[in-house]
Amino acid sequence: MKAEKAFTEFESDSIESAPEVFELNIISGGCRLYGYLLSPDKRNEKPFPAVIMSHGFPGYTTNNDLELALMRTGCVVIHMNHRGAWGSEGKYLFTNLKDDLIAIAKWAHSPAISEQYDIDPDNIFLVGHSMGGLSVLNAAKELPFIRGVAALAAYDIGAAFRYNMEKDLFLMIETEGQCLNMNSASEVYENALNNRDELSILNGYEKLADRNVLLTEASLDTVAPAEKMMKPLYEKLSEANACVEYSSIMSGHSFAGQRMKLTSLVARWIEKTAI
């Protein structure tokens, strides 16, 4: 891949080489997760690194621009909607997020799928924003074959309870979560409350010590303030001499005004981390 291609395109498409979009459904917990796979222009070098994207809560703020940019660099990009979100089967629960990503990553890493989509099984990356940042960090702890994991303005459920932000969490579930398939906001909140220690990104952090980790904060973030939610993990990993990078972008939680800066940062990190 070449990070410099994130904002450039081939002059024209051709039937033989043009990028493709494939509809996907992948089973997790007996439920079908729906999404898509972006396959890069075949004039890029094969096999392609693969990036699995994890959306935030509930997923109104998309990362389609980042996905398409990473496709232009020469990556396969996989976007799946978690259980209970945006048409995927099942009920939305925070405890399902990690398992969904593990199922997707194992699917992408399997020999049959790697061959079908020209995926390099040694260069699979997890990238997530907000609650997706929490999800990719927790999933990476259970996936030894993952080459790297990038968390963007990660929301840490454990920290939300440690710092008395639980009212904000419940309000977020009750208002923003209306698009999700859930029995009730109270059930989803109780799922967070009862599993807050297990869900925390600090839980089992030592399992990330042998991973390549990128943590990127939005310095104006009031939803997932980095001082409470990501910097404690960075400090733990630094003490463990992990291969971790920490970056800061002056922006709000969604990085809405700094998307090109965010894209360049992620693309260049993947380029130098891939083998």
Burial label, 184 (beta-carbon count in 10 A; 0-12, 13-18, 19+): exposed
Task: Pull the structure tokens for residue 245.
Answer: 């990078």
CA 177/CA 161 separation, integer angstroms: 19
Length reported for the chain: 275
Q: State pLDDT tens for residues 14-70.
A: 999 999 999 999 999 999 999 999 999 999 999 999 999 999 999 888 899 999 999
Strand partners, 152: 129, 216
Start-end of H helices in the chain: 64-73, 94-109, 111-116, 131-140, 157-162, 166-176, 185-194, 196-199, 226-229, 231-239, 259-273
Q: State pLDDT tens for residues 257-266.
A: 999 999 999 9
Q: So what's the pLDDT on residue 61?
A: 83
Task: Pull the structure tokens for residue 258.
Answer: 């700094």
Close Cβ partners of 24 (under 8 Å, ≥ 6 residues apart): 33, 34, 35, 36, 37, 78, 80
**What are the structural domains of the chain?**
3-273 (3.40.50.1820)
Q: So what's the pLDDT on residue 207?
A: 95
Count of Cβ atoms closer than 10 Å to residue 40 Cβ: 25
**Residue ranges of the chain with pLDDT lower than 50?**
none
Q: So what's the pLDDT on residue 188?
A: 97
